[in-house]
Structure 1
Amino acid sequence: MTALTEPTEATELTEPLKIAYSPCPNDTFAFDAWAHGRVPRAPALDVTFADIDITNGMAERGEFDILKVSYAVLPYVLDEWALLPCGGALGRGCGPLVLTREPGMDLTGRTVAVPSERSTAYLLFRLWAADTVPGGVGEIVVMPFHEIMPAVRDGKVDAGLVIHEARFTYQNYGLHKLADMGEHWELTTGLPIPLGAIIAKRSLGEPTLRLLAESARASVRAAWDDPEVSRPYVMAHAQEMDASVADQHIGLYVNEFTADLGEDGYAAIRGLLTRAAAEGLVPALAPEALAFP
């Protein structure tokens, strides 16, 4: 096993830090060691599980200390929050899908269900639609992501934008993949797909923010060193997901960018938000907004 890198510049914290992330396997896998006190000198955590549309709202309201959010919400919150350079979800071949009941459906004027309008999935969808649906899609309906595939199957909506493990299970609903948003993004930019970010309150101060980043990175590496240790935590919150699907989910979304965004990661984030701002989907991002203390 690789030895954990101990965080430096530890800051005295009298109470656990409040953190919210999803119950999805990539988050529980990445944060297992930290949440259970197995990262040396890392601050204690008070964990709340919440889907990303909930945590996006929490970020905009200034709630909690650390949050897993969509990259799409960053232009609205980076005055108060700092983007950590690790712990999040970027990757290749892992983008959201547009699903329909019938193959090859023309989405012009159609009703599309999405998990959130403040999500990377939604931005990728709108950028794809701007390139490929000249007449424009019709009504956008926001619903919890676990309700989207049944809604498409049952004819309540014409199409659905799905994320995460739905990549592996949509055939079970008799649905067809109309398009892969990540594939379109990668073909047009050459960059990885920015999905979920870890942010922390700037008011915690620079030493604590650096400590949080080092703690998140150490937690990810601990999970890689001994994946079986995290399995009970992952499966306890996997919402009845099959263990093989959970493993696929982790393999897809916990990768080199989870340990360190690196140049390609930051380029992907800037690229997404710059393109989205040009389409009027988000406010423009200041050049220095993504810089980590």
Structure 2
Amino acid sequence: MSNTATENKIQIHVGHSPDPDDAFMFHALANDKIETGKYQFHHELQDIETLNRRAFSGELELTAVSLHGYAYLTDKYALCACGASMGDDYGPMVVTREPMGIEDLKGKKIAIPGTLTTAFLGLNLCLGGVPKTPAKEEHSTGDCGTFTYEVYEFDEILNVVERGEADAGLIIHEGQLTYGDQGLHLVVDLGKWWMEKTSLPFPLGGNAIRKDMGAEQMDEVTKLLRESIQFGLDNRKEALQYGRNLDHAKADEFVGMYVNDWTVDFGDRGREAVARLLQEGHEAGIIPEPVELEFISG
């Protein structure tokens, strides 16, 4: 393609993580496996907490976000109806060096992957905590009343717990499959806890699209994202090669957990789950304002 033709395309800057599920979803867009028409996509790979915080400035047209993070972004972004990461009776976990129960976590220091992660919202709901420092304010340590926390890179948390630098760790991504390799013990799976409480899946992440693009572009870009997700599902073996280094069997298992029918479309039950989680977060005093959800179907 000529430089002129490329320059004439509408540039879409996309933020997503290198985690196996995001990498799987975006494989077709990142590697020119589908026709994107008048759009050209530029991919930026960063951890989810960094993407949550970047979204406050609205610099990316399309970005992966935690659904907790999205609660603070409704002025700038709508949610794509596709691209959900949904834990259906599983989700983020709290692990420790020694076996303990949920009540034993109270008063402990917990290593977390970021205050805007949905995992942190779920942890507070589970333990009855309310952060004394608002989640939107960037900070590295804090107190939720029922527990204290310290922020670490998500892929360091298992090591932090193993070394005894925190009493417990809140783990996301593939750590949910590998914590046992480091001799750690599961205290609570927040996805199971949420399912028992609500009979709903635990909605973790989604893709947000910038509202100032206008309705037509928002629909068209969302449609391309859905095509990319479907391509991955239809070409599973190929799409699994694209992502951060992880044992193939574990990558396959992880993608199976978080890229599925929910990812093609939230559906009514998925939308209900998002609304319920963010409503409970608001009622608990964690999310300051009620959240008006807007989904773009594409």
Correspondence 1:256-271 to 2 at 5 A: 256-271=261-276
How large is the Cα RMSD of the aligned pairs? 1.8
Asked whether the equivalents of residues 87 and 191 of structure 2 are also in contact (C-alpha less than 8 Å), the reply is no
Name the aligned partner's letter for residue 118 of structure 1.
L
Q: Secondary structure at the match of 1:44?
A: strand
Q: Secondary structure at the match of 1:232?
A: coil
Please name the residue that 2:281 is paired with.
Answer: 276
Please name the residue that 2:62 is paired with.
Answer: 66
Rounded Cα–Cα distance in structure 2 between residues aligned with 1:41 and 1:173? 43
Please name the residue that 1:31 is paired with.
Answer: 26
Task: Give, in angstroms, the shift of residue 286 of structure 1.
Answer: 4.3
In structure 2, which of residues 216, 224, 236 is the aligned counterpart of residue 215 of structure 1?
A: 224
Task: Give, in angstroms, the shift of residue 33 of structure 1.
Answer: 0.8
Instruction: Point out 4+ residue stretches in structure 1 off by more than 4 angstroms.
Output: none
Rounded Cα–Cα distance in structure 2 between residues aligned with 1:172 and 1:74? 33
**TM-score normalised by length of structure 2:** 0.87
Asked whether the equivalents of residues 274 and 284 of structure 1 are also in contact (C-alpha less than 8 Å), the reply is no
Name the aligned partner's letter for residue 14 of structure 1.
K
Task: Give, in angstroms, the shift of residue 291 of structure 1.
Answer: 4.0
Please name the residue that 1:94 is paired with.
Answer: 90
Asked whether the equivalents of residues 112 and 157 of structure 2 are also in contact (C-alpha less than 8 Å), the reply is yes
1:52 equivalent in alignment to 2:48:
yes
Name the aligned partner's letter for residue 270 of structure 2.
G
1:164 equivalent in alignment to 2:173:
yes
Task: Give, in angstroms, the shift of residue 37 of structure 1.
Answer: 2.1
Please name the residue that 1:148 is paired with.
Answer: 157
Please name the residue that 1:125 is paired with.
Answer: 123
Task: Give, in angstroms, the shift of residue 211 of structure 1.
Answer: 0.7
Rounded Cα–Cα distance in structure 2 between residues aligned with 1:94 and 1:256? 16
1:22 equivalent in alignment to 2:17:
yes
Task: Give, in angstroms, the shift of residue 285 of structure 1.
Answer: 2.8
Change (3 A) 1:286 1:246: closer
Task: Give, in angstroms, the shift of residue 90 of structure 1.
Answer: 1.2
- Work out the percentage of aligned pairs sharing the same amino acid: 32
Task: Give, in angstroms, the shift of residue 40 of structure 1.
Answer: 2.7
Change (3 A) 1:210 1:13: farther
Rounded Cα–Cα distance in structure 2 between residues aligned with 1:221 and 1:292? 17
Rounded Cα–Cα distance in structure 2 between residues aligned with 1:13 and 1:208? 15
Please name the residue that 2:294 is paired with.
Answer: 290
1:139 equivalent in alignment to 2:144:
no
Q: Deviations over 1:248-286 (max 9, x none)?
A: 110000011110011011101100000000111112334
User: For structure 1, which segment, 85-94 or 160-169, has the greater mean C-alpha deviation from structure 2 after superposition?
Assistant: 85-94
Change (3 A) 1:71 1:103: same
Q: Secondary structure at the match of 2:105?
A: coil
Q: Secondary structure at the match of 2:170?
A: strand
Rounded Cα–Cα distance in structure 1 between residues aligned with 2:226 and 2:117? 24
Rounded Cα–Cα distance in structure 1 between residues aligned with 2:242 and 2:291? 38
Asked whether the equivalents of residues 89 and 195 of structure 1 are also in contact (C-alpha less than 8 Å), the reply is yes
**TM-score normalised by length of structure 1:** 0.89
Asked whether the equivalents of residues 151 and 157 of structure 1 are also in contact (C-alpha less than 8 Å), the reply is yes
Asked whether the equivalents of residues 20 and 240 of structure 2 are also in contact (C-alpha less than 8 Å), the reply is no
Aligned residue pairs total: 274
Asked whether the equivalents of residues 80 and 295 of structure 2 are also in contact (C-alpha less than 8 Å), the reply is no
Q: Deviations over 1:218-264 (max 9, x none)?
A: 11111111212223323xxx1x3111111111000001111001101
Task: Give, in angstroms, the shift of residue 70 of structure 1.
Answer: 0.2
Asked whether the equivalents of residues 99 and 162 of structure 1 are also in contact (C-alpha less than 8 Å), the reply is yes
Q: Deviations over 1:83-135 (max 9, x none)?
A: 1100121131331101011101511211011101111100111111129xxx9
Rounded Cα–Cα distance in structure 2 between residues aligned with 1:22 and 1:139? 27
Asked whether the equivalents of residues 278 and 291 of structure 2 are also in contact (C-alpha less than 8 Å), the reply is no
Rounded Cα–Cα distance in structure 2 between residues aligned with 1:79 and 1:140? 29
Please name the residue that 2:136 is paired with.
Answer: none
User: For structure 1, which segment, 111-120 or 100-109, has the greater mean C-alpha deviation from structure 2 after superposition?
Assistant: 100-109
Asked whether the equivalents of residues 113 and 152 of structure 2 are also in contact (C-alpha less than 8 Å), the reply is yes
